[in-house]
Structure 1
Amino acid sequence: MLQLLAPIFFRCRFAVKLTFAILLALFLGFHFQLETPRWSVLTAAIVAAGPAFAAGGEPFAGAIRHRGMLRIVGTFIGCIGALVIITLTIRAPVVMLLLSCIWAGGCMWISTLVRVQNSYALGLAGYTALIIIVSIQSQPQVTPQFAVERCSEIVLGIVCAILADILFSPRSIKQDIDRAVDSLLLSQYRLLMLCINNATKEEVDKSWGDLVKFTTALDGMRGNLMMESSRWQRCSRRLRAINTLSLTLITQACEAYLILLVRPGFIQPHLLRLLNEPVETVGDIHKRMKMMRQVIAATPARDTPQVLYTWVGAATRFLLLSKGVKNNTRISKIEEQVLIDQVAVTAPSAERHHAMINGLRTGVATALGCLFWLWTGWTSGSSCMVMIAVVTSLAMRLPNPWMVCKDFMIGMSAALPIGALYYMVIMPSTQQSMLLLCIALGVLAFIIGIEVQKRRLGTLGTLAGTINVLVLANPMSFSINTFLDSAIGQIIGCGLATLVILLIRDGSKARIGRVLLNRFVYAAVSALSINKARRQENHLPALYQQLFQLLTLFPADIAKYRLALTLIITHQRLRLADIPANADLSAYHRQIRATADRVLVARNEIRRREHFDRLLAELRIYHDKLIHYQATPDITESVQRLTDTLFRYRHALSD
C-alpha cells in the first residue's frame, strides 16, 4: 500500500513546492514594491518546474539549485552584453536590434558546443540581452536601471525556488546511486556470461548497448550528487573511477566475444565452469571473484586469457570502490592507489556544423521578428520577439526541437483562455486581497505542478505563458487590449520560431556520425605509441561518451555501433600491447597519427578518401615493420585486425 501511495506523495510534494515558490516570489515582489513582480514569479516557476519536466517527476536535490545558478550567470552575462550593445549603438536603434539578434545567435552557437549541463546559461544570456534591448526602445537612458531591476527580480525568483526546495524535503539521489551501482555490476556479469557462452549477436548488442546507457546515466547521477552537497566529494571520486571501470568491463567482455568467434576454445573449461555458476547478488559476485583470483594465481600466466584476467581485476576494483560509495567512508590507501587519476582525454565537440545551424536559426528567427515589429508598428511586437528568442534558444540544444516548439505552441494557446479567465474575472475581484490572489494563483500552480511531472505536452508552456500574460505589475491595471496584444504576440512568436526551424533544415546528422566514427579511428591509431605519457591517457570515458551520442543519433543502426565498439576494443588492446621501442617505429607512429588527423579534419570528400587510402597503406607498411622487428603476436594481430576493419568499412568512414 505504501509503495502505491509513494508516487502520489512525491508528486503532491513537488506540486506544493512549486506553489510555494511561486506564491513566495509573488508576495515578496509586491512587498518590496518591485516594478514588475511578474519576472520574479516567472523565474521561480521556470527554475522549479523545468527540472521536474525534464526528469518526469520530482527532481533530485541540487537540480533546482544548479539551474538557478546557471540562470543567474546567464542573466548577468546577458545584462552585460545588452549594456555594451546599447552603449555602442544608442543612436542607431535598428543597428542595436540587429546586433541583439546576432548576439542571440552567437550565444546559441556557443551553447551548442559546450556541455549540455551548462548550455542553459548561454542560451539564457542570448535572449536576456534581447529582452532588455527590446524593452528600452522608447527610453534607452534607463537601461542601467532596467538591467539592475531585471537582475534583482530574477535573483529573487531563484532564491524563492531554492528556498522552497530546501524546505520541502528535497529528494536525495544517494539511495538511487547505491542501487544503481549494485545493478550495474550484476549487469556487467550477465554481459560477460553472454559473451563467453556464444550468445547471439542481437543479445550481445542489446546487453552492451543498455550497459553503455546505464553507465552514462550513472555518471549523470554523480553530477546530481555533487549538486546536492559538498560532503559527497569522496563518493564522487569513487564514482568517477567506477565509470572508467564499468567501461573497461564492457570493453573486455565484448573483446572476449570477438576472440571466441575466431578461437572458440580460448577460455579453459575449468574457468568457464566457475564463471557459469549462477549469481543473484553482489555478494555472489564477490565470492566468485575471490575464487577466480585464487584459480588464476594457481594457473600459469600463459594459460590465462589476458582479457579474462583484466576483467576480473577491474571487477575486483569495482567491488572495492562500491563499498566506499555506499558508506562514504574515508578513502583507504588501497583505494587511493585505484583512484590515482589518469590523464583523462576530453574530445572536442563533433557538432560544429549543427552549432552553426542553431545559431543561424536563432539569428534569423529574431531578425524576422524585428522586421515584423518594425513593419507593423505593433505595440506588442516586443513580446512576439521575446517569445521567438526564448523558443529558439531553448529548443535548439535539445535532440528534438520540433517537440519543444509544439510544447510552446500548445502552452501559449492554452494560456490565452486561462489567462483571460484570471485577467478579466478572478484578478479584478481579488486585487484588493493578497490572500485571495495567492489562493487563485496557488490552485493553478498546484494543478500544473502535478501535470508537469507527467511530462504532459504543453504544461510547461502553459505555466510560463499564463504568468507572462497576467502582466503582474505594481500597481496593477487591467487593459483588455494590452492583454490580448501580449497573448496573441506570444502565439505569433512561437509560430514564427517554429516556421524558421522547419524552413532552415539541419542536415548535419550524417556529418556528425561520420566525424564520430573517424574519431574512433583516430583514437585507435593514437594508441600506437611508445611514449609513456601518451599511453597513460584515459580515452575510454570520451570514447564511450561519443558512442552514446552515436546511439542517440542513430538508434537503429547496429552496424555503426559494432564498428565503433570494435575500434574502442582495438584502441584498448593497442594501448596495453608491448610495442618495440625504437626510433624507426616511433617516427612511423607520428606519421600514421598525422594521416589519421588529416582524415578527421578533411572538408572535401575526395581529399578525405585520399587520406584514408594513405592511412590504410601506412598501416600495412607498419604491420610489415612490426614483423621485421619481431614484435609479439598480440601487437601484430591487433594492427592486422585494425587494418582489415578499416578496409572493410572504408566507404562508411570516408564517404
Structure 2
Amino acid sequence: MQQSLFIRCRFAFKLSFAIVLALFVGFHFDLETPRWSVLTAAIVAAGPAFAAGGEPFAGAIRYRGMLRIIGTFIGCIGALAIVTLSIRAPVVMLMLSCIWAGVCMWISSLVKVQNSYAMGLAGYTALIIIISIQGHPQVTPQFAVERCSEIVIGIMCAIMADILFSPRSIKQDIDRTVDKLLLDQYRLMQLCLNNAPKEQLDNAWSDLVKLTTALSGMRSNLMMESAHWQNCNRRLIALNTLSLTLITQACETYLILLNHPAYIKAHLRLLLDEPVTSVADVHKRMKLLRQVITSTPTRTTAPTVYTWVGTATRYLLLLKGIKSNSRISGVEEQVLDSQSVVSAPSAERHHAMINGWRTGISTALGCLFWLWTGWSAGSACMVMLAVVTSLAMRLPNPLMVAKDFVYGMAMALPIGALYYMFILPSTQQSMLLLCIALGALAFVIGIEVQKRRLGSLGTLAGTINILVLENPMSFSVSTFIDSALGQLIGCIFAMLVILLIRDSSKARVGRVLLNHLVYEAVAALSTNQARRRVNHLPALYQQLFHLLSLFPNDVAKFRLALLLIVAHQRLRSADIPANADLSTWHRQIRATADQVLVSHNEVRRRRFFNQLLEELDVYQQKLAQYQAPRSVTEPVWRLTDTLSRYRNALIN
C-alpha cells in the first residue's frame, strides 16, 4: 500500500514538474502564449497515465510526445495549404478545414490504434489555426511556427520530467508475463487432454489470447523505452507467434480427441497430466517428452502433440534469451528467421468512414452556426467540438470519452474561476508563487488521473486552457466566462454528435473479420512453398482478439473463429499433391473466397459463398482422384463442414 502511494505521488510530482518547467520556460523566453506549452506538457504526461491507470512505463510519454510533434507539423502544413488556396474566401476556408479534420479522422481510424493519435491531432490542429487567424489570414505562417515551437517546448519538458524522475521499466513485467504464459499454455493442453467442459476451455483460450496480445503491447512499450532491448524485441516477436501456435495446436488436439479418444497414447497422456508450478517444471517435462517421442515410432505419435512439444521447446529457448537480453545464438537465429509474418488488413473501413463523417459534418455545422450567430464563445466551442470528436472516435467507447470531457469541463469552470479571479492575480509579482499555485493543482489532479477518475484528465486540460496563460497576463471576467462556457458547450455538442450519428457498423465489422478468417483458411490450399512459408497466425489472432473486443459474450463467434484458425494451420502444414489441375483449383477457390469477402450485397455474397462450397466439394473429389493422403482430405472435409454449418453467420 505504501509502495503504491509512493508511486502515485512520484508521478504526480513528475506531472507538476513538467507543467511548472513548461510555464517557466514559456515566460522566461517571452513566448506569445505559454499556455500552449503548459497544456501540451500536461496532456503528454497525463494522457499515458490515465490510459495505464497508474504511472506510465518508460518511453510511453516520449512516444506520445513524438506522435504529438508529428501530428502538429502535419496539421500546420495542412492549415498553410488551406489558407493559401482560399485566403479570399473565409467561409470556404473554414469548410475546407472541416473536411480536412474529417479526412484525418478517417485515416486515424484505419491506422494502428497506438499511431492514430497523430492523425487525429493533425485534423483539429489545422482547424484551431484557421479559427484563430480569422480576419488576419496573413499571420498564418507566424502563428503556425509559434504553435509548433511552443508545443515542442511543452513536449520536451514532459520528456525531461520523465527522464529525471525514475522512469518505470516494463522489463520485469515482461519477464513475469512470459513465465505465466508458458504455464498457462501447459495447463491449457492438460484441459484439452482431459476433455474439460467447453466453458472452461473457452475461458482458458480467451485468457491466453488476451495475455498474448497484452505481451505484444508490452513489447511495443519496451522498444519505446530504449534501443538496448533490440535483441529482446526480436525474441518477443517470435515468441508471440509461438504462443499463438501453442494455442492452436492445443485446440486442434481437443477437436481431434472428441472423435478419436485414443489419439493420444497412454504414456504421453500420463506425462502431460503431471501438474507444473514453475517454468523449471515445464522444462523438465519437455525434456522427458522429447526423450519419449524420439524413442517412439513416428506413426504412433500424435502429430499435434509432437508439434506442440517442439513449439514449447522453442518457446523455452527464446524465454531464456528474453530474460538475459544476451546476444542471439545461431540456434535462436534459425528460430527467428524461420518464417515471415504478415499484418492483418483493416476490417473497419465502414467504421472509419462513419468516424470521418461525424467529425467533418459536426465541425462544418458548428462553423456555420458560429458564423450565423456571431457568438463570442463560438471559437472555443468549435475547438472543443473538433478535439473531442477527433480523439474519442478511435477509442473503444467514444461516448465514455465524451462524458469524461463534459465532466472535466464542468469541474474546470469552478476551479478555473478560483484560480483566474483570486489566485493568479495575487501571484503576478512572483514567478515562484505562480509555479507553486499551478504545481499544486497539477499534483492533486495527477493523483486522480492515475485512478482513472472520470473527468480528471478533462479537468486538467480544461482548467489550464481557460486560464489563458499569456505574456503579459490580463484578467477579463467576461473573456473567462465566454471561454469556459464555450468549452463546456462544445463538449456537450460533441457528445450529442456521438449519440445522434449512430455507428451501426459493429455487425458488419464482425462479419468482415470472420470472412477474413475464411479467406485465410481457404488460401492455405496451395502448393507454392513461398506462400506456405508466410506466417499468417499473428494476423489471424489479431482479428480474433478484435472479434472478442466487439462481441465479448458471443462464445459462438469465438469458437467459429478458432475452428477457422485451426483449419488454416492444418491446411498450411498438409502435404498437398503438386499437380497442375489442383493448382488451378486452388486459384479458383481463392478467387471465389475473395469475392465473398469483398461483396457488399448480401445476395451477391450468398451466391459466391454457395459457389465456394460447391468448389470445395469438387476439390474433395479431385483429392480422392489423385489419392491424396488423409492428412490432406480430412482438414479439407472439416473446413467444408464448418463453412456449411455456419453459413448464415458468415453471410448475414
Q: Same fold (TM over 0.5)?
A: yes
TM-score by structure 2 length? 1.00
Distance 2:340 2:215 in 1: 21
1:520 paired residue number: 517
- Residue type at the aligned position of 2:347: A
The structure 1 residue matched to 2:343, chosen from 319, 341, 346, is 346
- Residue type at the aligned position of 1:321: L
2:90 paired residue number: 93
Give the drift of 1:599: 0.1
Distance 1:588 1:139 in 2: 66
2:375 paired residue number: 378
Gap runs ≥5 in structure 2: none
The structure 2 residue matched to 1:496, chosen from 493, 497, 502, is 493
Distance 1:281 1:19 in 2: 42
SS state at 2:32 partner? coil
1:254 paired residue number: 251
1:631 paired residue number: 628
Distance 1:343 1:587 in 2: 25
SS state at 1:579 partner? coil
Question: 1:405-484 alignment to 2 at 5 Å?
Answer: 405-484=402-481
- Residue type at the aligned position of 1:575: R
2:192 paired residue number: 195
Question: 1:208-223 alignment to 2 at 5 Å?
Answer: 208-223=205-220
1:33 paired residue number: 30
Indicate conservation of the 8 Å contact 2:44/2:65, yes or no: yes
The structure 1 residue matched to 2:68, chosen from 63, 67, 71, is 71
Question: 1:546-585 alignment to 2 at 5 Å?
Answer: 546-585=543-582
SS state at 2:263 partner? coil
2:45 paired residue number: 48
Distance 2:366 2:254 in 1: 57
Distance 1:521 1:540 in 2: 13
Residues matched between the structures, number = 652
Q: Deviations over 1:230-249 (max 9, x none)?
A: 01000000000000000000
Gap runs ≥5 in structure 1: none
1:138 paired residue number: 135
Give the drift of 1:380: 2.4
SS state at 1:289 partner? helix
Distance 2:413 2:369 in 1: 22
Give the drift of 1:143: 0.5
Distance 2:559 2:384 in 1: 43
Indicate conservation of the 8 Å contact 1:369/1:493, yes or no: no
Bigger CA drift: 336-345 or 596-605? 336-345
1:533 paired residue number: 530
2:16 paired residue number: 19
1:273 paired residue number: 270
Give the drift of 1:191: 0.4
- Residue type at the aligned position of 2:506: K
SS state at 1:239 partner? helix
Distance 1:214 1:633 in 2: 35
Distance 1:138 1:482 in 2: 19
1:60 paired residue number: 57
Distance 1:122 1:453 in 2: 26
Distance 1:88 1:536 in 2: 50
Give the drift of 1:495: 1.1
Q: Does 1:236 align with 2:221?
A: no
SS state at 2:367 partner? helix
Give the drift of 1:264: 1.0
The structure 1 residue matched to 2:290, chosen from 289, 293, 301, is 293
- Residue type at the aligned position of 1:247: L
1:152 paired residue number: 149
Distance 2:608 2:423 in 1: 70
Distance 2:552 2:585 in 1: 38
Indicate conservation of the 8 Å contact 2:105/2:352, yes or no: yes
Distance 1:475 1:341 in 2: 63
Cα distance change of structure 1 residues 429 and 341 upon mapping to structure 2, 3 Å threshold: farther
Indicate conservation of the 8 Å contact 1:387/1:493, yes or no: yes
2:399 paired residue number: 402
Indicate conservation of the 8 Å contact 1:364/1:500, yes or no: no
Q: Does 1:163 align with 2:145?
A: no
Give the drift of 1:341: 4.9
- Residue type at the aligned position of 2:277: E
Distance 1:645 1:279 in 2: 35
Distance 2:628 2:338 in 1: 30
Indicate conservation of the 8 Å contact 2:344/2:542, yes or no: no
Give the drift of 1:22: 0.2
Moved over 2 A (4+): none
Indicate conservation of the 8 Å contact 2:12/2:443, yes or no: yes
SS state at 1:279 partner? coil
- Residue type at the aligned position of 1:76: F
- Residue type at the aligned position of 2:259: V
**Percent pairwise identity:** 76
The structure 1 residue matched to 2:300, chosen from 300, 303, 321, is 303
Distance 1:365 1:435 in 2: 43
Indicate conservation of the 8 Å contact 2:234/2:336, yes or no: yes
Distance 1:632 1:252 in 2: 20
- Residue type at the aligned position of 1:518: N
Distance 2:344 2:41 in 1: 35
Distance 2:439 2:369 in 1: 36
Distance 2:324 2:236 in 1: 13
SS state at 1:498 partner? helix
Indicate conservation of the 8 Å contact 1:26/1:40, yes or no: yes
Q: Does 1:595 align with 2:592?
A: yes
